[in-house]
A = this chain, B = another copy of it.
């Protein structure tokens, strides 16, 4: 019925192929996990120039799953399913999707062999329930699973392309990158290219006020803001015949943003503040250390999330009680007594102590109140002092992040520490830019 509806094409404004991601799993509907597959696939699909139009999640229920597949068949050119390929008993994606597209499931001996081989390598017997993973739609392209046992598949039926991927995000994205992307690249022409301008230290409202007029008037390239706490991304996207032409269209937009936002921009097409800090330190041959109270290891954790961080990062001290500030970081007892653990003076002593104890060129510190609620000394939640010690001295930034949740306060405090490092590296003012 949808395909007889004249409205069905109203949304198709750019002539590209429309994609729907259909994720199957009751655990998603119960909130056991976020739909990470849809996020990671959407990034990749957008970069391929495909239009992701819908994400849909249904549970392990054959009626609703069937209805969702039928709807996707009518409104999308490409249907990508995630989940329901594993050995557990509530997996029914394959049967339902195959039936909706009038495909039989057949046992693929090559898949049986490779699953058996994988278990042999792990030194284990293949449980019998893994055999059902080798049942795939007739005449499909088999997508091998490098990280698990359940293979995926791709097929075309009635002008709609279907790609079925496993649910665990690692398996899903490895299969997408390893083989689904090849299948998709045969289906389209032209490119959509995006560049992401990353900004730290401005609110969503303020950014909107500065850029709204430009965003409203732009058609190609377009500009869209994504805000995560104080870390903003502006994604500039151009559609063109070639990659080169798209790059030429994006360049001037980014130049204008640099004029409007200045040193609030910490990078273009960079992954994070900590990556910018790491790259800058590595380029200069400098080492980093940390002294953390309220962030409790998060600054070190975020730095060491990055492969290659051992080139730069020597280590850190998590001083979650005053005794460790004194005994390990050598913060003077009288500073703690006079000013308290949450103070500009303690942040300075922590950073300078870490720089000495860890023998690093640069040390950052954080001491504050993650919350919820004020600390025993009556400091409000969200008050954090962030120190940066270098050979020439120490600077401390004071931020008031509000009683807005431990996770947010700690993440923002860590981001401020990395922002100070990248500003120091570039000779920029170290004050809080959002004040």
Binding site for B on A (CB under 8 A): 1, 7, 10-11, 26-36, 38-46, 52-59, 61, 63-64, 67-68, 71, 86-90, 127, 129-130, 147, 168, 170, 194, 204-206, 208-209, 212, 215-216, 224-228, 233, 235, 290, 292, 295-301, 303-305, 307, 309-310, 313-321, 323-324, 327-328, 357-359, 370-372, 404-408, 410
Contacts and interface: CB of A to CB of B under 8 A. Distances in A.
A406 B297 contact: no
12 contacts: A26-B224, A27-B224, A30-B43, A30-B52, A31-B40, A53-B64, A87-B208, A129-B205, A295-B301, A300-B320, A305-B407, A315-B317
Contacts of A296: 300-301, 303-305, 309, 313
A129 B358 contact: no
A406 B10 CA distance: 44
A212 B129 contact: yes
B88 A208 contact: yes
Contacts of A130: 205
Contact of A297 (B226, B233, B304): B304
Contacts of A226: 27, 30, 32-33
In the complex, the count of this chain's copies comes to 2
A196 to B, nearest CB: 9
Among A10, A53, A321, A408, the most chain B Cβ lie within 10 Å of the Cβ of A321
Contacts of A44: 31
Contacts of A28: 38-39, 42, 55
A133 to B, nearest CB: 11
A221 to B, nearest CB: 14
Contact of A405 (B57, B170, B224): B170
A11 B67 CA distance: 10
Contact of A38 (B35, B46, B295, B304): B35
A52 to B, nearest CB: 4
B63 A46 contact: no
A56 B406 CA distance: 30
Contacts of A406: 305, 307
A30 B48 CA distance: 11
A301 B298 contact: yes
Contact of A299 (B228, B297, B315): B297
A175 to B, nearest CB: 14
A40 B35 CA distance: 11
A144 to B, nearest CB: 17
A299 B298 CA distance: 10
Given A35-B35, A170-B408, A224 B316 contact: no
A394 to B, nearest CB: 21
A323 B71 CA distance: 61
Contact of A59 (B41, B53, B235): B53
